[in-house]
Structure 1
Amino acid sequence: MKDIIEELSWRGLIQNKVTGIEKQLKKKTTIYIGFDPTSDSLHVGNLVPIIILIHFQKMGHKSLGLIGEATGFIGDPSDQNDKRIFLKKNIIKKNTKSITQQLSNLLKFYSKKIELLNNLNWIKNIYFIDFIRKIGKFITINYMISKDSVKKRIQYKKNGISFTEFSYSLIQGYDFLFLNKEKNCLLQIGGSDQWGNITTGIELIKKITGKKVYGLTFPLITKSNGIKFGKSQKDENIWLDPKKTTPYQFYQFWINISDTEIKKFIKIYTFFPKKKIDFFILKHKKNPEKRFLQKKVAYEITKWVHGKKIYEEVVKISNILFDKNNQFSFFNEETLFYIYKNIPHMILSQTKFKKGILLLDILKKSHFFNSKNEANRALNLNSIFINKKLIKENILLKKENIIGKKYILFQFGKKKFFIIKIESI
């Protein structure tokens, strides 16, 4: 079999691993990765474990994807400074259905063989007394509080950690035990913040069955502010659901990644072999201003997540917005509407617009700026464009500024766009 550890290592996809894993992975091994339904959509950080599932499957191993509907009722305390807000059962059920569908669609793109499971199917049948008698007795409190995720919360004296969240690691450990018994699963994989939960499962299996099992973690993908992408993080996430992050915004996220990061991301987020990636990096280095690597990654991932047709439409929008030679006023209603759907937008009533409206008032409402003074400074710096034409003063927007009977496009600097649609409300 091909060396999966070597493959993941050069791609930068290994953070920690249990000793002896290399020998085990020379044979066909069943592995699993879990996904918590704390939101109704996955995000770009979740693509990494999905890609790892696919790598293992393509190299002859058996991959399992686990949706943690049961553990979703508790919420993982790992990497949390404060207690989680418990989601209602109907919300968790809705989220589970949604991310199961997303996972199914993404995995089918590369493989039809990866099995998806839901831990509620076995945890719902367990009585609390049976669990703490038969499972809880094998893990000591001393062992549990030695975990960084628990220790950190205990030290955070404002709220500490509830018994509910404290039990999370043990329940995740039980998942590993169950899959080991039922599916002969010998390896659990997760993000670097999951190491404590994974090793709890390894310890539980060792004490109950005497079997040797393994764990492996991958580095977390972080936002520009250094915070990880997380389903409970509402702001600045790049979601896979087009209703939460439009395909245009999704595509632009990859296009705007720095040269340093994109050299890492093409290894992490694509399946190109090493020689090809080395060639791509060399080609990019010759003309970095052409953003060859960014476009290559944006193509691969946008096509995977949203489909080739939508990718082509998104590229068309990008060309319209960023090409200085394109005349915005010449585009048809269909193109204008697609731009409206995909970039930040706002509806303005015809009644309010009848007498005209000042540019600075629109800029403030658009949330481009926090105040009129901030917007005015941008205007004085020649950073504001309307329908791709530079505006140097606080003009009164009137009927002649409307394109395609109902649209006005605003631009701040090189990359920020906003469009308003004028209609009867």
Structure 2
Amino acid sequence: MNILEELRWRGLLADCTDPDALAQRIAQGPVTLYCGFDPTADSLHVGNLVPLLALRRFQLQGHRPIVLAGGATGMVGDPSGKSAERNLQTPEQVEHNIAHIKVQLTKFLDFDVAANPARLVNNHDWTGPISFLEFLRDVGKFVTVNSMIAKDSVRSRMEDREAGISYTEFSYMLLQGYDFCHLRKTFDCELQIGATDQWGNITVGTELTRKKLGATVWGLVFPLLTKADGSKYGKTATGTVWLDPKRTSPYRFYQFFVNADDADVVKLLKTLTFLSQEEIAALENELKANPGARAAQKALARAMTLLVHGEARLAGALKASDVLFGGSLDGLGAEDFQDIVADVPNKDFERAKLAGAGTSLIDALVAAGLAPSKGQARKDIEGGGIYVNNVKVPDIARALTETDIIFGSYVLLRKGKRTYAVLKLV
């Protein structure tokens, strides 16, 4: 199966400038391709995964991927898919972001393999030295305003009289088009890939390269990563899901994918993982037969967390997730526990009460909101439904003492299978 066939069955081939000609070119041997990422933050996010993993898919089949960091375009701002002007970043911000993103890229692409190493370039290297007059003569001359206005990203903004579009953002597609032309001339790059919202910018590049260099290049785009209801995938109620563990912890990253809706999970397995057709078909059948087991979601979450964060952090995320299903706290890291604490009700509790003989567990259950009264707390303990740090409590006389404190400041209480509360000692 060649790369285009793989993209097609995974649902990743939304459009291509000339699919038949590109298929013929790929049949002749490896191509050099690129995808650009503007460094708008110091981390990539889940929304970047489709094009980033597509570069990996191409590399695994012997093609030569180029990652373009938008050191120049990142200071301008892409209007594609945006209803309002972006805030301009300083050169220092852009450089800071690129430095952090470089580290993340090594998790997905092989920059050291001898046959077809990935390459990282920065478009500021060739755009920065050009004067405004040179740019108008060498690039602007080949692109008509008529074609630029016809692009969806521009037309939608021009129709909004209040927001409009600045000349800065209007010029963005010229910069991206020039990138493609430069990469074709310098590295023999023949293909640019991206999401469907980049179609207008990509086609500017294919036309500019044809007119300026007389060379054939192609553009290929993937569908935007969306849920079954049409909303963008990659955000939660608390915001963007980042690839940097300092921004989104491995536990929360795992939880994001394990909570995928049944209507979305098969598509996500196809677009984001490297599981085979047979493996995904088996998970789809299991989903239909036993949706409550969430085997497809667990496979997705494991695959993505392993890919982005590695084995050790996957193990930590699995351990933390297991705790909320009654698993042992042994071996759980402090950072993972902090993530758990954020997911369950917290109650400030005086540390001094745990000194010496401690305080009654019955009183603590009422204080934590796990029991409406002392009488109910007694019944819950007698019924075997109360746990301290996920260890069942058999005795109504049980006291909480300093020996129950975990991670320096907490006691984890549980009622039944899934009702948790955390005493935060102050």
TM-score, normalisation: structure 2: 0.80
SS at match of 2:248: coil
Instruction: Note if 1:12 corresponds to 2:16.
Output: no
Classify 1:260/1:228 alpha carbon distance in 2 versus 1 (closer, same or farther; 3 Å): closer
8 Å contact kept, 2:191–2:218: yes
Output aligned runs, 1:90-169, within 5 Å.
90-108=92-110, 113-169=117-173
**Residue of structure 1 in register with 2:85 after alignment:** 83
TM-fit CA distance, 1:12: 0.7
Measured against aligned partners, the alpha-carbon deviations of 1:372-391 in whole angstroms (never above 9, x if no partner) come to: xxxxxxxxxxxxx99689xx
In terms of mean alpha carbon deviation, does 106-115 or 138-147 score higher? 106-115
Match of 2:44 in 1: 42
Residue 180 of structure 1 aligns with an amino acid whose one-letter code is R
Any unmatched runs of 5+ in structure 2? 370-385, 391-398
> Cα distance, 1:256 vs. partner?
0.9
> How far apart, CA to CA, are the structure 1 residues paired with 2:421 and 2:58?
42
Query: Kindly tell me: are residues 337 and 159 of structure 1, through their superposed partners in 2, closer, same or farther at Cα, counting changes over 3 Å?
Result: same
- Show the counterpart of 1:279: 282
Alpha-carbon distance in 2 for matches of 1:412, 1:221: 38
Q: Distance in 1 between matches of 2:215 and 2:413?
A: 63
User: Residues 320 and 340 of structure 2 are in contact (CA less than 8 Å); yes or no, is this contact kept in structure 1?
Assistant: no
CA distance in structure 1 between the aligned counterparts of 2:368 and 2:132, rounded to whole angstroms: 58
2:323 maps to 320
Does the 8 A contact of 2:346 with 2:423 survive in 1? yes
List aligned pairs for 1:336-355, cutoff 5 A.
337-343=334-340, 345=342
For residue 382 of structure 1, what is the aligned residue in structure 2?
Answer: none
Residues 129 and 348 of structure 1: CA distance in aligned 2, closer, same or farther (over 3 Å): farther
Return the alpha-carbon distance in structure 2 between the equivalents of residues 240 and 347 of structure 1.
27
Shift of 1:403: 4.1
Per the alignment, do residues 144 and 348 of structure 1 end up closer, same or farther by CA in structure 2, a change over 3 Å counting?
same
Aligned to 1:263: 266
Change (3 A) 1:388 1:287: farther
Distance 1:342 1:110 in 2: 35
Q: Secondary structure at the match of 1:25?
A: helix
Q: Which residue of 1 aligns with 2:23?
A: 22
Deviations 1:339-386 (A, max 9, x none): 4333354999887997999999999xxxxxxxxxxxxxxxxxxxxx99
> Secondary structure of the residue that 1:144 maps to in structure 2?
helix
Deviation at 1:413, TM superposition (A): 12
Report the counterpart of residue 173 of structure 1 in structure 2: 177
Amino acid paired to 1:265: L
How many angstroms apart in 2 are the aligned matches of 1:412 and 1:25? 60
For 1:218 and 1:8, the matched residues in 2 are separated by 9
- Residue pair 1:340, 1:419 contacting (<8 A) in 2 also: no
Q: Check the 8 A contact 2:107/2:307 in 1, yes or no.
A: no
Evaluate the alpha carbon distance shift between residue 409 and residue 81 of structure 1 in structure 2; reply closer, same or farther with a 3 A threshold: farther
Query: Distance between the aligned counterparts of 2:89 and 2:227, measured in 1?
Result: 25
Cα gap change, 1:215 to 1:419, in 2 (>3 Å):
farther
Correspondences of 1:222-237 after superposition (within 5 Å): 222=226, 226-228=230-232, 235-237=238-240
Whole-angstrom CA distance in 2 between matches of 1:135 and 1:416? 63
Report the CA distance shift for 1:271/1:421 in structure 2 as closer, same or farther (over 3 A). Answer: same
Structure 2 counterpart of 1:22, one-letter code: A
**Corresponding letter in the other structure for 2:144:** T
Distance verdict in 2 for CA 1:17–1:180, change over 3 Å: same
Shift of 1:298: 1.4
- Paired AA for residue 342 in structure 1: D
* Cα deviation code 1:8-31 (max 9, x no counterpart): 000011111112322222122111
1:406 alignment partner in structure 2: 409
Superposed displacement of residue 206, structure 1: 1.4
Cα distance, 1:260 vs. partner?
A: 2.3
State the match for 1:51 in structure 2.
Answer: 53
User: Distance between the aligned counterparts of 1:225 and 1:417, measured in 2?
Assistant: 32
Matched residues in 1 for 2:420 and 2:76: separation?
A: 40
| Distance across 2 between alignment mates of 1:116 and 1:411 | 50
CA distance in 1, matches of 2:71, 2:164: 25
* Aligned partners of 2:316 and 2:333 also within 8 Å: no
Distance change (3 Å), C-alpha of 1:412 and 1:7: farther
Secondary structure of the 1:42 match is coil
Alignment of 1:182-221 (within 5 A): 182-221=186-225
- Please say which of residues 412-421 and 75-84 is displaced more in the overlay: 412-421
- Corresponding position of 1:372: none
> What are the within-5 Å matches in structure 2 for residues 238-249 of structure 1?
238-249=241-252
Contact 1:43 1:229 in 2 (8 A): no
2:332 aligned partner: 335
Q: Which residue of 2 aligns with 1:288?
A: 291
- Give secondary structure in 2 for the equivalent of 1:133: helix
Q: Who is 1:392 aligned against?
A: none
Give the CA deviation at 1:302: 0.7
Unaligned runs of at least 5 residues, structure 1? 364-384, 390-397
CA deviations over 1:63-121 (Å, ceiling 9, x no partner): 11111111000111000001111112211111111111101232249968211111111
Relative to structure 1, the CA distance from residue 241 to residue 386 in structure 2 (aligned partners, 3 Å threshold; closer, same or farther) is: farther
Encode CA deviations 1:273-329: one digit per residue, 9 max, x unaligned: 223322332344333222211111211111111111111121111111123xx47xx
Cα distance in structure 1, aligned partners of 2:422 and 2:307: 28
Give 1:135 shift: 1.0
TM-score by length of structure 1 reads 0.80
Check the 8 A contact 2:67/2:121 in 1, yes or no: yes
Partner of 2:394: none
Q: Deviations over 1:222-256 (max 9, x none)?
A: 3687443589x995211111111111110111111
